[in-house]
Amino acid sequence: MKIVTSKINLKNSKIKQLEKATIIALEKTADALHTDVIQAQVMPFDVGTMQNDNTFIDYDSVRQGKITLTTEAPQARRLYFHPEYNFQKKENMNAQGRWLDLWKNGKKKKFCKEKFMKFYKEEAGV
């Protein structure tokens, strides 16, 4: 019987660097998503308050690996869950209900994963 041994050296400074890269990449990914949603002109838009003032990125849980794109407008829930509404298209030509579905399970579903990987590689230096 042969005995095999191995030695592992963990460099805490490198681990901390990778953890920091993860947080920064997550923040940049959320910012990119927020920007892409606005540029896609999918949110219902009357005077712009819901999109421009009441939609923001919540960074409170970033250290736990979670960031939330939040819309706190009182009408947001009603508009989001009723795609059958006839949304005006004057300001946002693609205005619709369920406006995040493109990124959740539609043609842009790889957007966040691809952005995160890009930003992580940049920040981690790999």
Residue 2, pLDDT score: 87
pLDDT in tens, 50-77: 999 999 999 999 999 999 999 999 999 9
Q: pTM score > 0.85 for this model? A: yes
Helix (H, G, I), strand (E, B) or coil at 81: coil
Contact 41, 66 (CB under 8 A): no
Contact 94, 106 (CB under 8 A): no
Strands (E), the chain: 55-58, 68-71
Contact 70, 54 (CB under 8 A): no
Q: Which residues contact 75 (CB under 8 A, 6 or more apart)?
A: 50
List the chain domain ranges: 15-124
